[in-house]
Amino acid sequence: MASVTLTQPTIKRPGRLTLVFRYLRRNPSLAIGVLIFTLLIVFTIIGLLTLNLKHAYPLAVRPKQPPSWQFPFGTDFYGRNLLTAMVVGMWQTAIIGFVAGGVGTIIGIILGFTSAYFGGWIDRIITGLCQILTPIPVLLIQVVIASSLDKRDVTIFTMAFVVVLLAWMGPTLVIRSQVLSMKERQFVSVAKLSGMGPFGIIFQEIMPNLLPFIAAAFVGQVFAAVFASLNLAILGLGPQREPLLGNIIWAAQSQSAFFNGWWWWPLEPALALVLILGSLALINMGMDEIANPRVRRSE
Amino acid sequence: MSFSIIARRVLFLVMVVWAASTITFFIPRLSSRNPVRERFAELSRSGGFSPADLETIIASYNAKFGLDKPLLQQYADYMGSILRFDLGVSFNKFPRTVVQLIMDSLPWTITLLLVTTVLSFIIGNLLGAVAAWPRAPNWVRGLATPFILLTGVPPALLSVFLLFFVAFRFKWLPLGGAYAVGTIPDFESFSFWLELVRHQILPALALILGSMGFWVLSMRGMGVTIQGEDYVNFAEHKGLGPRRIFRDYYLRNALLPQVTGLALALGTVLSSAIIVESFFALPGIGRVLDQAIRSNDFTVIYGIVLFVTIAVATLMVILEFIYPLLDPRIRRS
């Protein structure tokens, strides 16, 4: 018998980076979101490293200067260099977003898992609490908390704390419903039958499958935290001394910036916030696509 | 609708009001801030009385407002006063009560909210329905996209851009306030009303643009589902014209669940209205809140928060009761 030798076709598996780029091409909202977000990070980091950060605080430079070569973003009524103020404000917005978003997501994960996995009266208390708190407009409760704080005590971190206090209901309910559906899957039953404890099942079986949802919930939380801190700052409840982006807009509006012709003052932080929120929203939309493979587009 | 459902909804409403009032009662008392002391310390700095008198004044004020009683007693009194719809007295505009301040500003806020919500609901839902309608021309369907993108932009930022482009660059509309400085409010004259409307356009636009995308998005999703329904197919095979199908079979059925969305969106819409009002210095609840925050008028801040929360929760429950009247399918089941 003549033997036929089959030539093995060599399959070249593309590198990891190529795969990432190919995926980004299929998921344009994620790609654009990540691009804008990266540019903002680069802007902030370069600014933090090269600029004199004292210029972000009052009485540092000549006040009320329109954008020029010396001050590319102009200066405000209080004598802050707005370029530096934007860099510092962007950095502070990032801190609030990530701290509040992170803590909110973690609380959501803990409560969501407890509620769904153990069920019974724990579940009833947690979901009941979420349902009662949901119709209360979050902004207003945040106003109560923020205005109860001593104005000198308001820092970036208390701001994040105020935001996170009422921002865990969303992720709790999302993760609860995901765990509930995951709990009934066969691989969980197999793990249970093979004698795995509840924590083993939660951390080794269910958690890895939930990661895309958790990531999407986290981005959503960061968005909500930036949004909420902006609203508080616009009402004048932000840390008064800091050049937080919302604070700059509030200060500009308090000094009637448009009326006095200082258009650059409120416009720049507003643009920066639109870029931040827009990129987060785009990333969130892209993440949804990863989390729900049903809507994922094929190559 | 059965009695037990109504009872459950009312109980839910009571729970929400209780939760909101408990939060507004305890959080301020947990903080180190003492509103009475701050207020009088401010006054004593501007002169008038000696620091020794300050303590006496504060003590008498605490006694007057019951702030020296045990916490639980205060809590019970507070709950009782809420039931009587008494939210206390303003520190800053003393003889006036918080309820009076709210009632004075409420007509402005309600008008702004009503106009913007109705407009954005109608336009948003129509755009969403058209965006999901396969026979609509492409350019009409494309109209929906920019509004969906705008949902992510907070109304405060929209206000900044609108102010810059419309009011600052092109000077088409005023920069803020309810009417031009120096105008004497005269509700009889037509030109004064025109002036009022001109000042409300930008804030209303910020609110409409910010909330419309929500309706477009949910209506588009709803529309896609409805098109697959048997009764739409049936109407097509009966030979009904596309206009008739769109209006009576498609739009009507897709619109119903959107009313539920109205209840869900209420809290957000009201919060944005408050922010936009304070941003444009329009008379209204937002302005009262803004002034209260600037002058540390705590009873007013907490009173407004409680009032708005109760209003939102009540409206949500009312909308839930209205819904079965609109949708016969729910009424029967």
The interface predicted TM-score (ipTM) is: 0.81
Confidence band for A275, pLDDT divided at 50, 70 and 90: very high
Confidence band for A299, pLDDT divided at 50, 70 and 90: very low
C-beta neighbour count of A52 within 10 angstroms: 10
Mean pLDDT of A284-295: 72
A20-60 confidence digits (pLDDT tens):
888 788 788 888 999 999 999 999 999 899 888 888 788 77
Least confident of A56-60, A113-117, A189-193: A56-60
- pLDDT value at B333 more than 60: no
Give chain B positions within 8 Å (CB) of A137. 267-268, 270-271, 308-309, 312
Q: Which residue has the higher pLDDT, A2 or A253?
A: A253
- The domain segmentation of chain A, as residue ranges, is 24-291
Mean pLDDT of B220-226: 84
Tell if the CB–CB gap between A135 and B313 is shorter than 8 Å.
Answer: yes
Q: Which residues make beta-bridge pairs with B261?
A: none
- pLDDT value at A208 more than 80: yes
Verdict on whether the full-model pTM lies above 0.90: no
A24-291 in CATH: which number? Answer: 1.10.3720.10
Identity of the residue in A144, A234, A253 whose CB atom sits nearest the CB atom of B28: A144
Mean pLDDT of B117-127: 91
B272-324 confidence digits (pLDDT tens):
988 898 888 888 898 898 888 888 787 888 888 888 888 888 888 888 788 77
Mutate to test the interface with A, among B12, B109, B157, B276 (most CBs of A within 10 A): B157
Top-ranked range on mean pLDDT: pick from A108-112, A192-196, B163-167, B297-301: A108-112
Mean pLDDT of B81-100: 80
Nearest to A139 by CA among B106, B24, B268, B278: B268
Question: In the predicted model, what is the mean pLDDT of chain A?
Answer: 84
Identity of the residue in A136, A256, A266 whose CB atom sits nearest the CB atom of B16: A136
Tell if the CB–CB gap between B308 and A253 is shorter than 8 Å.
Answer: no
Identity of the residue in B154, B304, B309 whose CB atom sits nearest the CB atom of A227: B154
- Computed on alpha carbons and rounded to an integer, the radius of gyration of chain A in Å comes to 24
Q: Evaluate whether B311 touches B110 at the Cβ level (below 8 Å).
A: no
Tell if the CB–CB gap between B293 and A259 is shorter than 8 Å.
Answer: no
- pLDDT value at A297 more than 60: no
Confidence band for B231, pLDDT divided at 50, 70 and 90: confident
Q: Which residue has the higher pLDDT, A166 or A115?
A: A115
